[in-house]
Structure 1
Amino acid sequence: MAAMLRAVRVLHRFAERPVPDRRNIFSDRPPEPPASDTDRVQGGQRWQAVVRHSPERAMFPLLGLMVLGVEVWPGLGVMPARGPILLTLPCIGLMITGWRWRGGPVVTAVGCLLVMGFVDPRIVAMTLVAPMLQVVHVVQNRGFPLGVGISGIGYLYAVWASIPNATSASDHVDILLVWAVVYAICWAVGLLLPAWVTSRVSFLEGEIERQRFQIAAELHDTVAHDLSLIVMTAERARVDPQLGGPEALGQVAERARRASMQLRALMTLLEVEAAPPLLAFHNVLAHSKDALARAGFESSVMVQGDLGRITSSTGDLLSRLLREAVNNVVRHGSPSGGCVVLINVEETVVELGVTNVCHRPTGEVRPGVGLTGMRDRVEAAGGTMTVSSQSPDWRLALSVPMLG
């Protein structure tokens, strides 16, 4: 009994030892990474968020109840009363580990020591699992001193329960080695799991950011295009009241109605994850020519090849690209210089070129949200895109493969 009390005191001293961030292992949160390294701090914060919102609070009680049912329930009424009572302690420690990852292992360790002192090892089986699971959980939360303590007691508990089954000296050696390997694996899993989860969280954060950008690009390519034309029509009507007649109001109403439909389609896509209707490229080409004419541009559309050969997927992509290109021309181009749209349909690729006179000075092209979104769409499809500015012309040239 005195030896067990000394072991409990040693374990308690392990628990009271400060971790590197000077918080003791009975704290409710995992240790913080060093504040001097920004990347490690951010990674530690992501891991702590995963720990706080993980399903472990439900998993550990279920595991504890399962071990309790398998280990204790069959022995009720068969073994002495102290057996089921003491075997319940490691199960209780396992159950509360989800809420208190420091207190749960301590309860389990005390229970294991009491079981070794008062229970026949031949009736011990499933409770051997409790310290193993807790070692993984403690180590992944960087509670290394407590991990060493619970590993040592769990190892002794497993060896103690296995020794009665040994029949020779070699069996004793095998038992010592096997349980050492088992606990080494538990430590390896506990050390590697945070890195895997953190990398997975980083990947999902990147996917969320990519989808956010896609949504922004979609809004920019559709709704923002029509809103820009509405604003320009309204500004022209304000400068020259003669341009604000029924025809101009009809154009504003048509574009507003189209923007509303596009926004509703995008909301439907976000809700039900259904693909939006494909845009007919020849219709978008006609609408783009009308938009240029209404903005005062004298446009020239030249088509080489058969537009009917363009597949639906390629047509949908080209429709979005052409709408954005025309939107840029209307917003930044000079109507006096006109606009030339060239489409070349080949067997495996489709080329699109737009040339216009731009208000901007000659120099390095700084892509905004629209051009960046176009480039991303083109490169995602396996195509290429170039933008150049040479006084006074602004040139956009892109090539996309014929998608299936």
Structure 2
Amino acid sequence: MFRRMKTSQLVVDVIVAVGFFLIAWPVETVLATGTLGLEYQLGSLGQIITGLLIAALFSGALALRRLSPSLSLGIAWVGALVQMGLGRPPSLSDVAIFGILYTTAAYGTRLVYWAGFASALVGALVITVYLFAGPVFAGGGLSWQTLPLALVVLVAGAFALGLSWTIGALVRTAVRARENREAQQRAEAETAAEQERVRIARDMHDVVAHSLAVVIAQADGARYTLTAAQTGKGDMKTLSDPAVATDALATISATARSALADVRLLLGQLRHRQGDGPQPTIADLEELYAQVRTAGVQLRVDVDPAPPGEPPAAVQLAVYRILQEALTNTLRHGAPGGSVDVRLSWLPDRVELDVRNPVSPGSQPGRSGHGIIGMRERAQLAGGRLDAADEGGAFIVRATIPLGGPA
């Protein structure tokens, strides 16, 4: 029934309606008495009061035209019926109808929208019939002689009232188009932001998860190396290998520093969108293999055939990140002492990646976390696909990425 409006809009509408009333009421008085003063016959008092009522009705409808187009249209019809019922001629008060029809088309609900259209057509017909067949202005009534003029009045009234409604309908269409465009822009911005968040979260997961897995493995190795074991006689025997412990701590330091640098770069992306995240290539795979081997994993790598030239950057990034996450899973869920097999086949049109590792009893890789989801997204972004499953006690990650895939 009522639309939400700003206070300033309500104030403007009320001021316009009051100004309209202050102009329309004197005009109604002139039509009723022929004078603007108080010199009128006693019989004219009723005409002045009815003029006041008609001016007030149309002014009230004008004040409510944007707040409640349906109520405004109803009040305008009441004013028109009162005006015709009292046999009064058309006057300045009727001008408010044009503004009311405009708002029904521009701001009304779907029902009010079509009610305004119907009112424009029916109103033109009612005006014509009232002027040519009414009790006061018939001029002999509607006849074949007055029929052409009546048709002209009907067309002119329908055009004038319909034009007001049509302008409102055009404004309504423009407002809806603007709202749809703004909604589409917001949706596109939200989608872009979501994609950016997912990309940064994927990079953060790949960097932090792998680095922490290597650090944990090295820390455990160093701790076991320096553990003091108790002999059968109750004496403490130190089982220490300073060289192994030193290497483990060096690996932990290097891995942590590298992860810290990548995290700082990713945090820079969160602050500045134009920043580039870590972009490793297949040239960095040897360093990745070395980190995994130093963590105590027996890693076998088979590259056959070798890359044909320089693969696209998107493909190199996808291969590196998929291998990084797959090898991280071997550190988390791989069977102790088991070997991990990595096979890379750089074919002319695609690269095939296969990582196979035995699974620890009771371990369920891929059942939680975001690692496999991230690997699959990496492959899809590069135009390929990835499958990961437990087959015969070994967890296998297979990926196929076209060398001409989208960046």
TM-score by length of 2: 0.60
Read off the aligned partner of 2:64 and give its amino acid letter. Answer: G
Name the CA distance, whole Å, in 1 between partners of 2:394 and 2:99: 78
Match of 1:235 in 2: 220
Once superposed, what is the RMSD of the aligned Cα atoms?
A: 5.2
Match of 2:204 in 1: 219
Match of 2:155 in 1: 171
Name the CA distance, whole Å, in 2 between partners of 1:157 and 1:206: 44
Superposition deviation, residue 123 in structure 1: 6.8
> Is this contact kept in 1: 2:346–2:352, CA < 8 A?
yes
- Could you say what secondary structure the match of 1:219 adopts? helix
- Could you say what secondary structure the match of 1:395 adopts? strand
> Is this contact kept in 2: 1:278–1:316, CA < 8 A?
no
Match of 2:37 in 1: none
Name the CA distance, whole Å, in 2 between partners of 1:333 and 1:391: 14
Match of 2:295 in 1: 295
Match of 2:105 in 1: 132
Deviations 1:346-367 (A, max 9, x none): 2221111112222146999757
> Is this contact kept in 2: 1:361–1:391, CA < 8 A?
no
> Is this contact kept in 1: 2:58–2:94, CA < 8 A?
no
Q: Greater shift after overlay, 157-166 or 237-246?
A: 157-166
Paired residues, what number? 326
**Judging changes above 3 Å, is the alpha-carbon distance between structure 1 residues 394 and 279 closer, same or farther for their aligned structure 2 residues?**
same
**Judging changes above 3 Å, is the alpha-carbon distance between structure 1 residues 390 and 342 closer, same or farther for their aligned structure 2 residues?**
same
Name the CA distance, whole Å, in 2 between partners of 1:132 and 1:398: 58
Superposition deviation, residue 167 in structure 1: 4.3
Match of 2:137 in 1: none
Read off the aligned partner of 1:234 and give its amino acid letter. Answer: A
Unaligned regions of 5+ residues in structure 2, if any? 29-54, 84-90, 129-148, 227-239
Identity of aligned residues (%): 21
Read off the aligned partner of 1:343 and give its amino acid letter. Answer: L
- Following superposition of structure 1 onto structure 2, how do residues 264-283 of structure 1 map, counting pairs within 5 Å? 264-274=264-274, 276-277=276-277, 279-283=279-283
- Could you say what secondary structure the match of 1:305 adopts? coil
Match of 1:93 in 2: 64
Name the CA distance, whole Å, in 2 between partners of 1:126 and 1:177: 10
- Could you say what secondary structure the match of 1:330 adopts? helix
Name the CA distance, whole Å, in 1 between partners of 2:321 and 2:278: 10
Match of 1:108 in 2: 72
TM-score by length of 1: 0.60
Q: Greater shift after overlay, 155-164 or 331-340?
A: 155-164
Unaligned regions of 5+ residues in structure 1, if any? 1-24, 29-55, 98-103, 140-146
Match of 1:12 in 2: none
Read off the aligned partner of 2:108 and give its amino acid letter. Answer: V
> Is this contact kept in 1: 2:340–2:358, CA < 8 A?
yes
> Is this contact kept in 2: 1:295–1:335, CA < 8 A?
no
Name the CA distance, whole Å, in 1 between partners of 2:307 and 2:366: 32
- Could you say what secondary structure the match of 1:359 adopts? coil
**Judging changes above 3 Å, is the alpha-carbon distance between structure 1 residues 272 and 76 closer, same or farther for their aligned structure 2 residues?**
farther
Name the CA distance, whole Å, in 2 between partners of 1:268 and 1:211: 13
- Could you say what secondary structure the match of 1:309 adopts? coil
Match of 1:42 in 2: none
Q: Greater shift after overlay, 204-213 or 351-360?
A: 204-213
Read off the aligned partner of 1:171 and give its amino acid letter. Answer: V
Superposition deviation, residue 170 in structure 1: 6.8
> Is this contact kept in 2: 1:122–1:161, CA < 8 A?
no
Name the CA distance, whole Å, in 2 between partners of 1:132 and 1:383: 52
- Following superposition of structure 1 onto structure 2, how do residues 122-201 of structure 1 map, counting pairs within 5 Å? 122=95, 125-136=98-109, 147=111, 152=115, 155-156=118-119, 160=123, 167-168=151-152, 171=155
Larger radius of gyration: 2
**Judging changes above 3 Å, is the alpha-carbon distance between structure 1 residues 284 and 112 closer, same or farther for their aligned structure 2 residues?**
farther
